[in-house]
Structure 1
Amino acid sequence: MNGALLVAGTTSDAGKSVVTAGVCRWLARQGVSVAPFKAQNMSLNSFVTADGAEIGRAQAMQAAAARIEPEAAMNPVLLKPGSDQRSQVVVLGQPVAEVGALDYRERKPALLRIALDCLADLRGRYDVVVCEGAGSPAEINLRDRDIANMGLAVAAALPVVVVGDIDRGGVFASMYGTLALLSAEDQRHLAGWIVNKFRGDVRLLKPGLDMLEQLTHRPSLGVLPMLPGLWLDAEDSLDLAGLVDRAPSGGASGEEVLRVSVVRLPRLSNFTDIDALAQEPGVLVRWATRPEELADADLVVLPGTRATVADLAWLRERGLDAALAGRAAEGWPVLGVCGGYQMLALTILDEVESRAGAVPGLGLLPVRVEFATAKTLARPVGEAYGETVAGYEIHHGVAAVEGGEPWLDGVRQGSVWGTTWHGALENDGFRRAFLREVATAAGRRFVPAPDTCFAAAREERLDRLGDLIEEHADTAALLRLIEGGVPDGLPFVPPGAP
């Protein structure tokens, strides 16, 4: 088997990442050598590869689904928004510029060449490459310089499957509208539809699928049922609720529930750090944007952010700074991760990200932070509570610790902890030890479940995605597209054709 496929979507969060990961796992289980690819990703949720490259976290998850190591070629262009107007551009795993939308547009022809080179490289090393689009292929205002959807499909001769989220409503209109807005050349690549997040009896959907096929001359390639509770590594904040929608089942010995409030920062990044807490039996994770939502928390988490100084100002505007100070003064546990750790410092000197200069931090940890031009990208390994801990670092801020107790290359002072390490809570022994200490400080009779394995839970989710494709998609048709490429003779459907 040899070939490639592009999975596009009618909208953001339609299910492109899920379908791409599912196809990767389904093929990997058949012994096919397969790799994921996303030419351009816009996300604050990223990961560091073994050789120190930063890529979208979704592509790292898809690589895990394919049972291979993630690498920069799988996501050659990553955009990390710092505001509504500007983003950091990461190319082949390294930051190269901070640009506005119009400036970035001028870079796209060169970035398309890089993306095509990476795709060709992957296709030379793997039997199959499953590509994921970005946003919608029908963003006609951006088509002339598109590098992730139909621009990539045409340049690389890829067949395209479009995924639509029926749970949002209007799936048939969005699918037909997507096709109708494409040029004749682009339409030639669009080969079929996948309906995602369906609830109910698929027989009730069949008349609509039949009519869609008649109108578009493209077949339905699957109806995927809603799978709640997957908690997969999302690209953006659209799926944040999925991390915290599970009622806790109680600790290992039926003791009290441990309540965790996570501050939902405006430019929240790497929110997958919370995933391991949310899947721990007996831990209730909630998002917080108001001081009163911290009042009964046994642990408050300040997560990562792409805009430390701006989000710190937001924190103060809402009175969350006083609430955090009050909780810490009373001995209640507070954990800061990466940008959240930087906020807990005495001072922040930022001439790089916000260019705000010297800014007072929350003053809850004996740390002074200075932003460096070079970004730290690393996969550190250390020890805490007698447990081995592996994590990853993505930050410009460099923390100079002036006291307290060393903790994961960060510091602990009293009931406040801070670290630059993402992913630390995914280490089972460390997570349980940390939760035991939190419970003691909070006066809770909480006992972590001794056999909870986060890696096994993630693997089980990826298998569920493979099952989703195997059981509910037209796998024979998908194989024909992968091996046969762009189908011949697909009719052009002009706007308003019905």
Structure 2
Amino acid sequence: MGTGILVAGTTSDAGKSVVVTGICRALSRRGLTVAPFKAQNMSNNSMVAVDAATGDGVEIGRAQWIQSVAARAVPESVMNPVLLKPGSDRRSHVVVRGLPAGTLEAGEFAGGRKHLAEAAFAAFDDLRRRFDIVVCEGAGSAAEINLRAHDYVNMGLARHGELPTIVVGDIDRGGVFASMYGTLALLDAADQQLIRGFVINKFRGDVGLLKPGLDSLYELTGRPVLGVLPWQRDLWLDSEDSLALTSRPAHDGDGALTIAVVMVPRVSNFTDVDALCLEPDVRVRFVDDPRALAGADIVILPGTRATLADLEWLRSRGLDVAIVDHARAGGAVLGICGGFQMLGCEISDPHGVEGHPGASAQGLGLLDVRTEFGPDKVLRLPSGAALGAPASGYEIHHGRVEVGEADEFLGGARSGNVFGTMWHGSLEGDELRVAWLREVAAAAGREIRTGTVSFASARDERIELLADMIDEHLDVDALLSMLTDAPVLPTLSGTLR
């Protein structure tokens, strides 16, 4: 049977996903079979994998999908057994082992998850039987003491698997030493024994300046800082966390084409625009105000987990009028999944998939399309062609789209300069992305450089850079030794004891 390790954090967006991705590739380089694992995601950024037994599509968190690529493993739903997709501030849709499994209300979050814990532990045990090492990612903070009694994502998982745990802290936010010490101190004695060291992430400057703090933290806790990872602007990857989106680089290319991505409140699968951010003649910016559409050549409405609510949000800010005016003035518009549905004539939810049975709304009316939400979720990996180029992507949606007077486009529709697709990830295909950019550039009277970027190669290069950073700045040998060593470590006396 294989072993495992838990990468926990002091906060959300401390860099756990990035660290796990880098560790997965670094260990794979050493000839180990590696699997990523996150017991529970809370994210609307997901991906479709294929169930090996049935051949059907299953849904997993995007971060675990990219981590499986880094580990050179086939992505499986078992790598992310529980996925919570927020539909509102108090209600999440639940996905278990890749398939819909009802909803979870805020009041049930603490005590109503026993069945989810059982599914998560069974999935972890399955992976550990088949891989040399399972690299687990925690969620939020390891010291969510209000949730500890029912936790199966952080120290609850560590206790189940007897996993040595490292705690990652983001020094760029400030207070990293206090947050690391406090995280450890708030845990009970048994949990503390599993915390074996710390990793400081996103450091800028001379590491020598940290030495007094590193020494003091070791003296206070008996645990070393295993690495200080440098801050790198271009190391963001397929994130699961919307917190990371606010620091995502809005690519400032030469500006031949300007793309405005409308950041609806419940945005999902925002990685759909990643490939555009790499194009040298494309400037991508994220906007939430109608005035920010001025000067844009293309407006993109991304996917959303709450189509009707986010459509109302567009109207409340005047973005609906701004998008329609942009299209009527000859500007290009691309809607993806929920964003595509908003571009249509009508959206109805007779079954209450989004929480309000019988709800309906008029869309922006730019495409002759009508959408009705059904209880069954579509999970597919479609392929085909568009604009003379091969195309592929993935579908994750409840909406059933009926297209009227419009041309077909990637499982969706097109009318002139307005495009709508149900396929997430289609722009990651180099040939399709180039064909689409050339078409919209020509319509705008522009010439752009295209065909110089391979998105798949760029992604793998970023993974390799992460692994290089892990090898250079993290004591991987010490990490591996944790899998067999079990020293007795000091217990801190926190305020709860």
TM-score (norm 2): 0.96
- Paired with 1:366 and 1:90, the residues of 2 have a C-alpha distance of 32
Partner of 2:371: 369
Tell me which of 135, 138, 146 is aligned to 1:141: 146
Q: Per-residue deviation at 1:483? A: 3.7
Say which SS state the counterpart of residue 49 (structure 1) adopts.
Answer: strand
Q: Is residue 88 from structure 1 mapped to residue 63 from structure 2 by the alignment?
A: no
Partner of 1:477: 478
Partner of 2:391: 389
- Paired with 1:50 and 1:324, the residues of 2 have a C-alpha distance of 36
Amino acid at match of 1:205: L
Q: Which moved more, 1:46-55 or 1:170-179?
A: 46-55
| Residues 422-461 of structure 1 aligned to structure 2 (within 5 Å) | 422-448=424-450, 450-461=451-462
Say which SS state the counterpart of residue 229 (structure 1) adopts.
Answer: helix
Q: Per-residue deviation at 1:122? A: 0.6
Q: Is residue 307 from structure 1 mapped to residue 309 from structure 2 by the alignment?
A: no
- Paired with 1:243 and 1:275, the residues of 2 have a C-alpha distance of 10
Amino acid at match of 1:432: V
Partner of 1:77: 82
Partner of 1:169: 174
Amino acid at match of 2:434: R
Partner of 2:201: 196
Partner of 2:20: 20
| Residues 73-472 of structure 1 aligned to structure 2 (within 5 Å) | 73-248=78-253, 250=254, 257-351=256-350, 352-355=353-356, 357-448=359-450, 450-472=451-473
Say which SS state the counterpart of residue 124 (structure 1) adopts.
Answer: helix
Q: Alpha-carbon deviations, 1:314-364, whole Å to 9, x = none? A: 000000111111111122100000010010110001132142522111111
Residues 229, 245 of structure 1: 8 Å contact kept: no
Amino acid at match of 1:466: A
Amino acid at match of 1:180: A
Say which SS state the counterpart of residue 200 (structure 1) adopts.
Answer: coil
Q: Per-residue deviation at 1:11? A: 0.1
Residues 243, 278 of structure 1: 8 Å contact kept: no
Say which SS state the counterpart of residue 139 (structure 1) adopts.
Answer: coil
Residues 280, 449 of structure 2: 8 Å contact kept: no
Q: Per-residue deviation at 1:2? A: 4.0
| Number of residue pairs aligned between Structure 1 and Structure 2 | 488
Amino acid at match of 2:480: L
Residues 231, 275 of structure 1: 8 Å contact kept: no
Amino acid at match of 2:489: L
Q: Per-residue deviation at 1:169? A: 0.2
Amino acid at match of 2:117: L
Q: Alpha-carbon deviations, 1:37-85, whole Å to 9, x = none? A: 0001101110000231111100001001001111100000000001110
Q: Alpha-carbon deviations, 1:128-152, whole Å to 9, x = none? A: 1000000001110000000100011
- Paired with 1:158 and 1:231, the residues of 2 have a C-alpha distance of 27
State the superposition RMSD in angstroms.
1.4
Q: Is residue 64 from structure 1 mapped to residue 69 from structure 2 by the alignment?
A: yes
Residues 243, 274 of structure 1: 8 Å contact kept: no
Q: Alpha-carbon deviations, 1:407-441, whole Å to 9, x = none? A: 11111001100011000000001000000011112
- Paired with 1:408 and 1:62, the residues of 2 have a C-alpha distance of 27
Partner of 2:54: none
Q: Which moved more, 1:287-296 or 1:137-146?
A: 287-296
Residues 2, 482 of structure 1: 8 Å contact kept: no
- Paired with 1:132 and 1:433, the residues of 2 have a C-alpha distance of 38
Partner of 2:3: 3
Amino acid at match of 1:97: G
- Paired with 1:482 and 1:426, the residues of 2 have a C-alpha distance of 37
- Paired with 2:2 and 2:129, the residues of 1 have a C-alpha distance of 10
Q: 1:330 to 1:236 in 2, by over 3 A?
A: same
Q: Alpha-carbon deviations, 1:145-194, whole Å to 9, x = none? A: 00100011111111110000000000000000001100011101111000
Residues 108, 147 of structure 1: 8 Å contact kept: no
Q: Alpha-carbon deviations, 1:187-208, whole Å to 9, x = none? A: 0111100000001111100110
Say which SS state the counterpart of residue 105 (structure 1) adopts.
Answer: coil
Amino acid at match of 1:271: F
- Paired with 1:259 and 1:59, the residues of 2 have a C-alpha distance of 31
Q: Alpha-carbon deviations, 1:281-317, whole Å to 9, x = none? A: 1110001111111121110000000000000000000
Say which SS state the counterpart of residue 243 (structure 2) adopts.
Answer: helix
Q: Is residue 40 from structure 1 mapped to residue 40 from structure 2 by the alignment?
A: yes
Q: Per-residue deviation at 1:239? A: 1.4
- Paired with 1:482 and 1:61, the residues of 2 have a C-alpha distance of 24
Q: Per-residue deviation at 1:387? A: 1.4
Q: What's the % identity of the aligned pairs?
A: 56
Gaps of at least 5 residues in structure 1 are 251-255
Q: Per-residue deviation at 1:104? A: 3.9
TM-score (norm 1): 0.96
Amino acid at match of 1:139: E
Q: Per-residue deviation at 1:496? A: 6.4
Q: Alpha-carbon deviations, 1:220-259, whole Å to 9, x = none? A: 11000011112301112111144434321x4xxxxx6210
Amino acid at match of 2:478: A
Partner of 1:253: none
Q: Per-residue deviation at 1:482? A: 2.7
Say which SS state the counterpart of residue 209 (structure 1) adopts.
Answer: helix
- Paired with 1:2 and 1:376, the residues of 2 have a C-alpha distance of 35
Gaps of at least 5 residues in structure 2 are 52-56
Residues 231, 242 of structure 1: 8 Å contact kept: no
Residues 2, 127 of structure 1: 8 Å contact kept: yes
Q: Which moved more, 1:239-248 or 1:403-412?
A: 239-248
Q: Per-residue deviation at 1:115? A: 1.0
Say which SS state the counterpart of residue 261 (structure 1) adopts.
Answer: strand
Q: Which moved more, 1:203-212 or 1:104-113?
A: 104-113
Say which SS state the counterpart of residue 188 (structure 1) adopts.
Answer: helix
Say which SS state the counterpart of residue 217 (structure 2) adopts.
Answer: helix
